[in-house]
Structure 1
Amino acid sequence: MAEQTLANHSDRLNAINIYPVADADTGTNLYLTVRSASQALLHLPPADVGTTLASAGRAAMESARGNSGTLFSVFLAAMAEPLAGQPRFNGPLLAAALHRAQLRSWTALSEPMPGTILSVLEAAARGAAEVESTLGGDDSNHALALTLDGAVAAARTAVVLTESQLGVLTEAKVVDAGGVGLLLILDCLRSVVLGEPLQEDLLDGLSGYKVQDPNIALTMPEQAGVEVMCTVNLSPLAAAGLRMQLDELGDSVIMSAVSEEADDAGSYPWRVHVHVPSPAIALDAIQAVGDPNNVSISALSPNATEDAHDLL
């Protein structure tokens, strides 16, 4: 359901995508990342909730696109951790999973900012925890419904607030695109778990989100540079060193372990995301410590006509 919902909303999400760069692709990136997760599940045998989400999270992270797609994949993989071995979902597990997801997502980004998808995730976790705390550990389906309602309602409030939390959004009079995308995904989760339709009025009144609103992303100043993404096997110490170096070379640095399983040398697969002036700046640093694979290079300008790989 999330895949189809994001496909339906991708154009509008792209139109308000102006932070951290106005590259008009948040909707597309979230859709492609979620599609990778859903397609991975088509080939898996039935499993418990945690195993299923962990598989989806790994697939999403390996194919993550953009800031929003990368953070969503971290969110998905982290949600799986408290659910390991659990045969069914319930309110306490949902609250624990959202709490774990918001912690992992904030730490994955070198310079986390309020007013983004992170704020929406944090609010969802807080909303779920507040409801669950009043229910005394009730694991009934009714309690799960109330907890899901609390998470989605809090997430929507947080989306509205994003417009006032980041100056660039305030000036453009739009809410954060990644935050709206996460809100849609959370409502899809609510719909599937409760067997209820999506909330038709969920996005009503969000600044810049009406169909007739202009494509604000395409009116923003031209963006220079490229987005580089890859997967690389590193020890935790080497990963910390690479993060520090990428922080000096570029911005929007996101690094997260794809899995908790180390190889014989004690290295873990890490998904790396960074914005830099040119691909070689990031790739030289990454290749100095490991052998990157699944490399993706995209121009940050939504109007780019050249292949970003040609910039190497």
Structure 2
Amino acid sequence: MTRLRSALWLPLFDGLADPMAVARLAAEAEEAGWDGVFVWDHLRWRAPVGHVADPWITLTAIATATERLRFGPMVTPLARRRPAKVAKETATLDRLSGGRLTLGVGLGSDRFAGELSATGEELDDRLRGEMLDESLEILTAAWSGRPVHHHGRHYTVDGVSFLPRPVQLPGVPVWAAGFPGKAKPMRRAARHDGFFPVNLEHPDQLADVVATLTDLRRQETTPYDVAVPLPPGTDPTPFAEAGATWWLAEFDPEEVSLDQVRGVIHDGPVDIAVEQIR
């Protein structure tokens, strides 16, 4: 048995668009016993949000302001990022933090701010899924330290070595996002280190997700994470009993403030025993 880990899940909007302010929050969270701080990855958001910070610069600030917290983007839409650049960024950030980075990945969406269409990115979900999977292949190969020879439909990396490697071996843990019950995201998540369910409504849904992941991973023996976002004040116990290993305190992106986050930090993390998924 282990315990349910507690983290903050922060939209980097308006009052939280200052990386130094978020780094100070992360340091306060670490001191208060929280296990992680994860951040949204967006270029913009719908009104009334006006200010949006870059996640990677903010994560660098978090890394230097803390010593123990796990952190990362939750989630980054890999289809709008170059995988070779992400390979270098993730390895460097993992080394800077002493091996504390978790990479959350997903398809991304044009729904909330039109950020994909506004910047000429791929809008077709199926193609972005292909790009996501191909990017993950490149990242896995890059983190090995060996030369990467990848010639795919969307990307080419021809004989490049990405050194130094991340501190974490064989590479940075990857949590894949997806809607519960959708086959492709579940299969993608099962190939990696964790699942981040989107729009989860009930613990029974999570129990079904965990059962599916356990079946897909029946040949695996390494520990596996399921991270569930829940509003502050929600009792995470039923979700822990259904198989969650992390709960992420989520905030309304259009109303979040430094004071609100600080209040949740001071309320403290939870202390719930869970059985680690394998």
Length-normalised TM-score, structure 1: 0.27
Q: Which has the higher strand share?
A: 2
> Relative contact order, CA 8 A, sep 6+: which one is greater?
2
Q: Which has the higher helix share?
A: 1
